[in-house]
């Protein structure tokens, strides 16, 4: 009984597809997508400062970020931390406060 041989189907398939595209005269584009790292946490003081830079109440600030006013309030008090999507918006607002107002 013959021993098992290990076959890497992915490599074989990649080579076949690459060769087929090359033979048809098409450019072969193998690109790599870099995923940005997760945003670093922002302190309650920084969140409060971002809101003040926007000259907004907590309720209006929450509307800009599409979160509840209680969430924005608890972030500023340090009781909770913003989730990843809100954290990205906060970082954008920190760099360019007017970006939230352009919607």
CA–CA separation, 28 vs 20, rounded Å?
10
Q: Tens digit of pLDDT for each residue in 6-41?
A: 667 777 777 777 666 666 666 666 677 888 888 889
Domain 44-102 in CATH 3.40.50.12280: no
Name the nearest CA neighbour of 44 among 73, 86, 21.
73
Query: Alpha carbon of 14 to those of 17, 18, 30, 35, 58: distances in Å?
Result: 5, 6, 11, 23, 54
Residue 90 has pLDDT above 90, yes or no: yes
The pLDDT of residue 101 is 80
**Structure-derived torsion over alpha carbons of residues 81, 82, 88, 90, reported in degrees to the nearest 10:** -90
What share of the chain in percent tops pLDDT 70?
79
């Amino acid at each position: 009984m013959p021993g098992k041989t290990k076959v890497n189907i992915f490599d074989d398939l990649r080579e076949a597809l690459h060769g087929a595209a090359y033979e048809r005269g098409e450019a072969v584009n193998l690109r790599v997508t870099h995923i940005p790292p997760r945003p670093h946490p922002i302190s309650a003081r920084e969140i409060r400062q971002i809101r003040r830079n926007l000259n907004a109440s907590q309720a209006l600030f929450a509307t800009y970020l599409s979160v509840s006013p209680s969430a924005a309030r608890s972030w500023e008090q340090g009781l909770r931390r913003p989730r990843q999507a809100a954290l990205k918006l906060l970082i954008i607002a920190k760099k360019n406060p007017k970006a939230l107002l352009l919607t």
